[in-house]
Amino acid sequence: MIFESHAHYDDKRFDIDRHELLKSLPSKGIEYLLNVGADVKSSYECVKLAKEYDYIYAAVGVHPHDVKDMKEKDLETLIGLASYKKVVAIGEIGLDYYYEISPKEVQKLWFREQIELAKELDMPIIVHSRDASKDCYDIIKETDAKEAGGVIHCYSGSVEMAREYTKMGFYIGVGGVVTFKNANKLKNVVKETPMNKILIETDCPYLAPVPNRGKRNDSTNLKYIAEEIGKIKNISLEDVIKYTNENAKRLFRVS
C-alpha cells in the first residue's frame, strides 16, 4: 500500500471532483496521504481534509511564495492548527529563488522562523528548495534543523548535497520529474540514495509523471514514480512501495 507523502488536494484544480477522487483513493492502493499546506488558508483546508478522511494527514506551513505577506501572528495560528493530532509536519517551507515571488531576505527569515517552530513542536519539516540549494542547506545547518528532521521535497539538487542531507537524517522526496527523459541528475540521486531515505510524492495537481505529463496530477500516478525508482534501483515495484511506505510512517510517526 502506497504512502503519498506530498499532495495539495485543497488546490482549486480539484474543486470539480475533490470528494469523489478522495473517496476513491484507498481502493486504488493509497494507504496514507499527507496533504501539505502552502499558506495559512490552505493549512486550514489541510486540517479540514484530515478531519474528514481517516487516511489523510496534514502538514501546516507557509510556502516561500507566500511568506511575503506573513505576519508574526500567523505563527500563532500555525501552532493552533498543529495541535490537532493528525497534523504531523510543518510545511511546506523553504526557499524559491526561481520565481522569487517573495524577496530573498523575507524568504530566509520565515524559513528560519518556521524551522524553529518545528523544533519547538517536535515535528519534521517539509522543505521546498528551488534554485536555492546553497542557502537552503546553510540555513538547515545553522538552525540545526536535523533536530526536527524532515524531507527535501521534490528534490532537484546534486548527488553530493543529497548525501549531506541523508547524513543529517533527512529524507529525499522523489516525484514525477524522475520519469522525465532528461532527468539524469535526479535519476543519479535516486541511484545513490539508500532506499531507506526515499519518499515518493506527486505534489499534485502539479508535475504529473510520464505517461500523463502535462495533465492534472493525482495520487494514482504514484505507481509510475515507484516503477521508475524500481528500474533505477533494480528492485520490484512492490519493494519500492513497501520501503517508501515504511520510511514515511517512520518520519511522520503515522501508524
Q: List interacting residues with Ni ion (CB under 5 A).
A: 203
Least CB distance to Ni ion at residue 228 (A): 19
Element (H, E) at 30: strand 30-36
Give the closest residue to 148 by CA, choosing from 123, 129, 113, 167: 123
State in angstroms the smallest separation of the CB of 203 from Ni ion. Answer: 5
Shortest gap between Cβ of 234 and Ni ion (angstroms)?
29
Choose between 74 and 203: whose C-beta lies nearer to Ni ion. 203
Pick 96 or 203: Cβ nearer Ni ion: 203
User: Residue with C-alpha cell 518520519?
Assistant: 251
Question: Which residues are within 8 A (CB) of 155 and not within 5 positions of it... i.e. 6 or more apart?
Answer: 162, 172, 173, 174, 186, 189
Q: Please count the other Cβ atoms lying within 10 Å of the Cβ belonging to residue 148.
A: 24
Residue with smaller CB distance to Ni ion, 39 or 74: 39
Q: Which residue is nearest to Ni ion (CB)?
A: 203
Distance in angstroms (rounded) separating the CA atoms of residues 21 and 9: 9
CB of 236 to Ni ion, least distance (A): 28
